[in-house]
Amino acid sequence: MLEIKNLVSGYDGPDVLHGIDLEIAPGSLVAVIGANGAGKSTLLRTLSSLIRTRSGSISVDGKDLTNAGPSAIVANGMSHVPEGRQVFATMTVAENLDLGAYRSSRSVSAQRLEKVLEIFPALKERLNNVAGSLSGGQQQMLAIGRGLMAEPKYLLLDEPSLGLAPIVVQTIFDILPNLTKTGVGVLLIEQNGQIALSIADRAVLLERGSITLRGTGQELLKNPEVIERYLGVGNSIGADPEKQKVMSVRIRTALGSEETGIFAKINSGIA
């Protein structure tokens, strides 16, 4: 279990997170949704020790990892795939993936590489290409693949869908249930949570650094307040309108044929 208790953190100024309580069980997918600036990325940065916890605690399977430092976090089973797909553009796909397993022996790293390439076959054909030559979707797969090379118990994903074409978003989200089936716990951050909520076991709404709603993914999907403020197409209070517009179009298209059920349900929920 990844346990976050009463977590408070921030940058140079005032607190950004005001006492977050959240648990991620092995093999479950927990989504955190919220407007831009709510503190979603700050939460992941605090978990991975990139910024300091001011009070509260973070533990993995009973081991306290509060302010343990980024490499101890990875060594104890948490992998953070940051916002904006930070791959090393001039290095090859193989080299980028290898970096994710830098703590492991050659043979272990080769085994993990095989597993990651099974999940993302598109990367297999491009192992010797430089990462900068990949499409946005392939770069996101590479960023997630690099996170998986550490064989994490818990994977922290920061807005994996951002800036990607709808069909690519679907490909990325399709792998998540397969990952959780293998026992990996996933903490998925998304600004506009329609797809995230549709696959989440549990979900929370983060507003100005505090959790203001919790439930199953389906409960939040049906919650009128969430629909109006965070899922409503062109009707989001507090979110960056440009980002919102892009997300809305993408989600509508992505939900397309197969997922119209969910979309229809949400619309009837409003009515």
**Residues comprising the chain, all counted:** 271
d(CA 29, CA 154) in angstroms, rounded, equals 10
Residue 34 contact among Mg ion, ligand ATP, none, beta carbon within 5 to 8 Å by kind = ligand ATP
Q: What is the 3-state secondary structure (H, E, C) of 112-168?
A: HHHHHHHHCHHHHCCCCCEHHHCCHHHHHHHHHHHHHCCCCCEEEEECCCCCCCHHH
Count of residues in contact with ligand ATP, rule CB under 6 A? 12
Near ligand ATP by CB under 6 A: residue from 11, 75, 183, 270 = 11
Q: Which stretch binds Mg ion (CB under 5 A): 81-89, 160-168, 195-203, 214-222?
A: 81-89
Told to check if 41 binds Mg ion by CB under 5 A, we report yes
Near ligand ATP by CB under 6 A: residue from 7, 22, 31, 41 = 41
To Mg ion, the closest distance from the beta carbon of 190 in angstroms equals 10
Cβ atoms of residues 151 and 143 within 8 Å: no
Radius of gyration of the chain (CA): 18
Told to check if 31 binds ligand ATP by CB under 6 A, we report no
Told to check if 40 binds ligand ATP by CB under 6 A, we report yes
- At 230, which amino acid appears? Y
Near ligand ATP by CB under 6 A: residue from 2, 34, 113, 200 = 34
Q: Which stretch binds ligand ATP (CB under 6 A): 35-43, 52-60, 195-203, 259-267?
A: 35-43
Told to check if 193 binds ligand ATP by CB under 6 A, we report no
Cβ atoms of residues 230 and 33 within 8 Å: yes
Q: Long-range pairs for 168-173 at CB < 8 Å and ≥24 separation?
A: 168/135, 168/136, 168/137, 168/140, 169/195, 169/250, 169/254, 170/195, 170/254, 171/137, 171/141, 172/137, 172/140, 172/141, 172/144, 173/199
Is the CB of 150 or the CB of 157 nearer to Mg ion? 157
Q: Which stretch binds Mg ion (CB under 5 A): 3-11, 76-84, 114-122, 175-183?
A: 76-84
Is the CB of 208 or the CB of 222 nearer to ligand ATP? 208
Residue ranges binding ligand ATP (CB under 6 A): 11, 16, 34, 36-42, 83, 191
